Chains A and B, each alone.
Chain A
Amino acid sequence: MSIKGKAYIAGVYEHPTRDAPDISTPQIHAESAKGALEDAGLTKDDIDGYFCAGDAPGFGAMSMADYMGLKLRHMDSTDTGGSSYILHVGHAAQAIAQGKCSVALVTLAGRPRQNRGGGGGGRGGPPGGSDVPEAGFENIWGGSTHNTYGMCAMRHMYEYGTTSEQLAWIKVAASHHAQWNEHAMLRDVVTVEEVLASPMIADPLHRMDCCVVTDGGGAVIVTTPEIAKSLKRPLVKIIGAGEAPKGPRGGLNLDLTSSGAIWSGPIAFEEAGVTPQDIKYASIYDSFTITVLMQLEDLGFCKKGEGGKFVADGNLISGIGKLPFNTDGGGLCNNHPTNRGGITKVIEAVRQARGEAHPKVQVPDHGLVLAHGTGGSLGTRHGAATLIMEAE
């Protein structure tokens, strides 16, 4: 598919400032966005795709999306220096041509004249530091992944009666799988009681509710149907993908019991033309046990609030439960390379779809698999991504 004629430029705006001691970098991004929207005759709520590079303060596109209050289904923070924004227009055209978004925003902003030492180099000012819009208001509270996810679990328990025993079953299931993985960091099968007896890290999460910290890595190759069919490996076809950031977006109606999967999941399922009930194996990001429980609900494997019942009694264990998950042992037992577990979720889902998982955990009817992840923090702002694949 070509982008030729599939997308148009609707609005542009060049910020008039040349010396900005009185406005922040996020503000220049937002004012530029506002100017381009007004030029186009569109509003902020029309935007569903956002593109930015390293000049955008914060974590990828997520801090600026949250600052501007954007609700997105496509984002891209590819950085090629000063050329990024030209590349972004090309990427935006691809996304629009493929129906991944309909109104894409590209922004650039920076204040190199305000940086001590001047310089005005090509990178548009340092990302991070005091330019990150939420930093001054949030980075002072001793927030870590542990206690921000702990807050999600605490609220989930409050609203839905979810218990620590139910969360523990997620770790138990992962440990049942990890025993067969010779590379797994933790290979011992654990019990619910052992999870509950492990030290409290951040209420209500125990140490065994937390993933491992590991070195490591991974890689994925994606190709055309023609090339894939010319190779000697089992065919695994990509049939659906969805993505979405989620954050407080101004703090009204804060909802820490659901993740961006409530948006990324339906997009992926619709594109794939399948439902959660069709999925035979799921790789679900497991930074913490609560991460798994919330995402399973948000993806539609069970109703919101019923995740605790769904994961209990071994329902996630291959050969025992209805939805085998993370058959490599997942982040809870196997591997969480450089604290980014998304790629290992794709890799184990591909093993399952190929029929190449460990025989003790291989799902017999493995035609349709899902990989889903969350990056950042469910407790503050995060990006969700869902991928559905099919064996052919």
Chain B
Amino acid sequence: MADPTEAPTVRRIPAPAINVESKPFWDAAEQGKFLIKRCKACGQAHWYPRALCPHCFSAETVWEESPGEGVIYTYSVMHRNTPVPYAIAYVNLDEGPAVLTNIIDYDAATLNIGQRVKVKWSPTEGGPPVFTFAPI
């Protein structure tokens, strides 16, 4: 793992754009809760959260708290135009959907597809915390 005395390995994250549809997610984020949406009609979870299910188009979607655990589906460490390299990634949640995110607190030597990760909130510039993921 990274030495905490080293330079920061996390880039500054802008505040997320929030609208009336996504506000419950970000309100929960302030409480440290990671919510996903599940459809009561077809039973499937989806990401990003929507009012209507993107699988079956039912309006019966409900918020569900997720442990925020999954595996890295793919990633790419960005080296260009950034003060610190950062890893963008998709994480396949245990509930099924893939989530676009940043991996933080990773060891560059072991960062890999299939690695198990868990949500770890990161501060933003003037907004709610966001759902970065860190290796378990």
Residues of A at the B interface (CB closer than 8 Å) are 21-27, 30-31, 33-34, 37, 43-44, 66-69, 129-144, 146-148, 150-155, 158, 199-205, 248-252, 254, 256, 380
Contact = CB atoms under 8 A, between A and B. Distances in A.
Interface of B: 11, 13-22, 26, 44-57, 59, 73-80, 82, 86, 88-90, 92, 96-102, 113, 124, 130
Contacts of A24: 19-22, 51
In the complex, the 4 A-B pairs of residues with the closest C-beta atoms, listed nearest first: A150-B76, A69-B54, A251-B97, A250-B46
Contacts of B97: 248, 250-252
A135 B17 contact: yes
A202 B88 CA distance: 10
B60 to A, nearest CB: 12
A254 B57 contact: no
Contact of B78 (A25, A144, A249): A144
Nearest to B39: A250
Contact of A30 (B49, B52, B86): B52
Contact of A256 (B21, B90, B124, B130): B90
A139 B57 contact: no
Contact of A136 (B16, B56, B75, B79): B16
B128 to A, nearest CB: 10
Given A140-B14, A140-B124, A251 B102 contact: no
Contact of A254 (B80, B88, B92): B92
Contacts, number: 173
A10 B48 CA distance: 31
Contact of A154 (B75, B96, B130): B75
Given A34-B57, A139-B14, A252-B46, 12 more contacts: A67-B50, A135-B17, A137-B49, A137-B100, A138-B100, A142-B11, A146-B76, A151-B76, A154-B74, A155-B74, A155-B113, A248-B47
Given A21-B20, A151-B74, A152-B74, A202 B79 contact: yes
Contacts of A129: 17
Contact of B48 (A44, A138, A150, A202): A138
A131 B102 CA distance: 23
B65 to A, nearest CB: 17
A203 B76 contact: yes
Residue of B20, B57, B76 most packed against chain A (CB within 10 A): B76
A155 B113 CA distance: 8
Contacts of B74: 151-152, 154-155, 158, 256
A284 B22 CA distance: 38
A23 B73 CA distance: 32
Contacts of A143: 88, 100
A153 B61 CA distance: 34
21 contacts: A24-B51, A30-B52, A31-B51, A34-B57, A130-B19, A131-B19, A134-B48, A136-B16, A136-B22, A151-B90, A154-B76, A154-B113, A158-B74, A199-B79, A200-B79, A201-B78, A201-B79, A250-B50, A251-B48, A252-B46, A252-B96
Q: Which of B77, B88, B113, B130 has the most CB atoms of chain A within a 10 A radius of its CB?
A: B88
A250 B54 contact: yes
B59 A31 contact: yes
Nearest to B82: A142
A165 B30 CA distance: 46
A273 to B, nearest CB: 35
A26 to B, nearest CB: 7
B30 to A, nearest CB: 14
Contacts of A44: 56-57
Given A24-B20, A141-B88, A133 B50 contact: yes
Nearest to B111: A203
B39 to A, nearest CB: 9
Given A133-B50, A137-B16, A141-B102, A250 B76 contact: no
A50 to B, nearest CB: 14
B54 A68 contact: yes
B16 A202 contact: no
B100 A146 contact: no
Interface hub of B13, B79, B96 (most chain A Cβ within 10 A)? B79
Contacts of A158: 74, 113
Contacts of A203: 75-77, 79
Contacts of B80: 146, 199, 201-202
B73 A254 contact: yes
Nearest to A152: B74
